[in-house]
């Protein structure tokens, strides 16, 4: 890791990629086509913000994903469950908790900062995490700025999907008699 990652950078992305590679390899050796991972809703929201802040991409972790080569399906059955609910359930069942930071030696992890940011934001605006998670399942692509999804270069900027986003603002008001 230290050979591939520059000094001062976190090793998380490489470590994650190497772990995924091992999971896919072992699944193939076992003849398995599905891989189940334990990412919960907070992991997904944190990943959204990590991508927004540090990669300039609007993406997160989907509940179900087909591998690039098409041989495996990754499922995340806890994708809609809050971390606090899982922690409480684990406490009630006396499950051991294994920390996610496998190396443990990295203090300045961006994920920790994003988690703290989201926690503070939730304290100031209760329910905002629920709203963020809901937004991940309620996307209006034509109201974003991706020219691969929507052609902004033409004069006619109407979208084909009239129900998307705020198209209701363009509708004529209903008359009452």
Q: CA-based angle 132:99:86, to the nearest 5? A: 50
> Does a structural domain hold residue 149?
no
How much of the chain exceeds pLDDT 70, in percent?
79
Kindly state the greatest CA–CA separation across the chain.
Answer: 75
Kindly report the CATH number assigned to the domain that includes residue 110.
Answer: 3.40.50.620
Per-residue pLDDT, 172: 64
Domain that holds residue 100: 12-137
Q: CA-based angle 77:80:81, to the nearest 5? A: 90
> Does a structural domain hold residue 114?
yes
Is pLDDT of 22 > 70?
Answer: yes
Is pLDDT of 68 > 50?
Answer: yes
Residue, of 83 and 13, whose pLDDT is higher: 83
Mean pLDDT for the stretch of residues 61-86: 95
> Does a structural domain hold residue 142?
no
> Does a structural domain hold residue 117?
yes
Per-residue pLDDT, 26: 96
User: What confidence category does residue 40 fall into, taking pLDDT thresholds of 50, 70 and 90?
Assistant: very high
pTM of the predicted model, to two decimals?
0.78
Residue, of 83 and 158, whose pLDDT is higher: 83
Is pLDDT of 107 > 90?
Answer: no
> Does a structural domain hold residue 153?
no
> Does a structural domain hold residue 163?
no
Number of domains in the chain: 1
- Count of beta carbons in the 10 Å neighbourhood of residue 74: 20
**Could you tell me which of 40, 45, 38, 74 has the C-alpha nearest to residue 59?**
45
β-bridge pairing 73-75 and 34-36: parallel
Q: Which helix (H) or strand (E) holds 64?
A: strand 64-66
> Does a structural domain hold residue 162?
no
- Give the sheet arrangement for strand 34-36, strand by strand: 34-36, 73-75, 64-66
């Amino acid at each position: 890791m230290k050979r591939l990652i520059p000094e001062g950078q976190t090793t998380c992305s490489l470590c994650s990629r190497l772990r995924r590679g091992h999971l896919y390899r072992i699944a193939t050796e076992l003849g398995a086509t599905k891989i189940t991972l334990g990412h919960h809703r907070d992991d997904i929201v944190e990943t959204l913000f990590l991508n927004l802040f540090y990669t300039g991409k609007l993406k997160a972790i989907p509940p179900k994903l087909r591998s690039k080569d098409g041989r495996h399906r990754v499922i995340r059955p806890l994708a809609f469950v809050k971390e606090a609910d899982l922690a409480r359930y684990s406490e009630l069942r006396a499950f051991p908790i294994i920390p996610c930071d496998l190396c443990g030696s990295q203090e300045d992890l961006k994920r920790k900062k994003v988690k703290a940011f989201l926690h503070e934001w939730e304290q100031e605006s209760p329910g905002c995490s629920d709203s963020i998670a809901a937004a991940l399942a309620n996307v209006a692509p034509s109201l974003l700025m991706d020219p691969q999804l929507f052609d902004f270069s033409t004069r006619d900027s109407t979208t084909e999907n009239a129900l998307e986003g705020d198209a209701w603002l363009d509708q004529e008001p209903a008359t009452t008699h």
